Amino acid sequence: MNIIVPIKQVPDLVEELEIDSSGKSLDQSSLKMKLSEFDDHALEEALILKEESGATVTAIAFDSEDVDKILFTAAAKGADKIIKVTGLENPSSHQAAQALAQVIKAMPHDLVMTGVQAVDDRDGQLAVLLAHYLGVPHVSVVTSVKVNGQNAVVSKEYGAGLVAEYEVKLPMVVGVQAARQSPRYVPVAKVRQTMKTATLEEVAATNITASTGSSIKKVSKPESGAGAEMIEGSAEEQASKIIQLLKDKGIK
Partner 1 sequence: MSNHVFVIAEHIKGKFDDITFEMLGKGKELASSLGGELVAVLIGNNVKSMAAQLSAASKVICVESPQLENFSPEAHSKTVSAVVNAHKPKLVMTGYTSMGMEIGPAVSVDNSMSLVSFVSNVTASGGSVTAVSRLYGGKINVESQLEGEGFIVGMLPGSSPADLGRAAGTPSIEDFAAPDLSNLSIKFRQLIEPEDGDVDITTQDILVSVGRGIQSDENLPIVNELAAKLGGAVSCSRPLVDSKWMSKTRQVGKSGLKVKPKLYLALGISGAPEHIEGMKDAGLIIAVNSDPKAPIFDYAQYGVVGDIFDIIPALTGKL
Among the residue ranges 66-74, 83-91, 196-204, 242-250, the one whose residues contact partner 1 (CB under 8 A):
242-250
CA distances from 149 to 53, 131, 164, 170 (A): 10, 20, 21, 9
Q: Does 41 bind partner 1 (CB under 8 A)?
A: yes
Whole-angstrom distance, CA of residue 135 vs CA of residue 93: 17
Among the residue ranges 55-63, 67-75, 77-85, 90-98, the one whose residues contact partner 1 (CB under 8 A):
90-98
Among the residue ranges 45-53, 56-64, 102-110, 208-216, the one whose residues contact partner 1 (CB under 8 A):
208-216
- Residues 114-153 close enough to bind partner 1 by CB under 8 A: 116-117, 119-125, 127-129, 131-133, 136-141, 153
Whole-angstrom distance, CA of residue 8 vs CA of residue 62: 7
Going 158 to 159 to 160 to 161, the CA torsion angle's sign is positive
Q: Does 19 bind partner 1 (CB under 8 A)?
A: yes
Q: Does 196 bind partner 1 (CB under 8 A)?
A: no
Among 74, 168, 198, 205, interactor with partner 1 by CB under 8 A = 168
Whole-angstrom distance, CA of residue 239 vs CA of residue 252: 13
Query: Considering the complex, what minimum distance in angstroms separates the CB of residue 230 from partner 1?
Result: 5
- Please, which residue, 76 or 174, has the CB nearer to partner 1? 174
Among the residue ranges 51-59, 66-74, 107-115, 234-242, the one whose residues contact partner 1 (CB under 8 A):
234-242
SS3 48: helix
The partner residues of 6 in beta bridges, in order of sequence, read 60
Query: Considering the complex, what minimum distance in angstroms separates the CB of residue 235 from partner 1?
Result: 4
Number of residues that bind partner 1 (CB under 8 A): 88
Q: Does 189 bind partner 1 (CB under 8 A)?
A: no
| Helix 67-77 and helix 37-53, axial crossing angle in degrees, nearest 10 | 30
Q: Does 216 bind partner 1 (CB under 8 A)?
A: yes
Q: What is the DSSP letter of 45?
A: H
- Please, which residue, 82 or 88, has the CB nearer to partner 1? 88
> In Å, how far from its chain's centre is CA 43?
9
Q: Would you tell me how many other CB atoms lie within 10 Å of the CB of residue 249? A: 8
Whole-angstrom distance, CA of residue 62 vs CA of residue 83: 9
For the chain, the maximum distance between any two Cα atoms, rounded to a whole number of angstroms, is 67
Query: Considering the complex, what minimum distance in angstroms separates the CB of residue 81 from partner 1?
Result: 26
Among the residue ranges 68-76, 81-89, 186-194, 214-222, the one whose residues contact partner 1 (CB under 8 A):
214-222
Find, among 19, 30, 78, the residue nearest to 52 by Cα.
78
Q: Does 231 bind partner 1 (CB under 8 A)?
A: yes
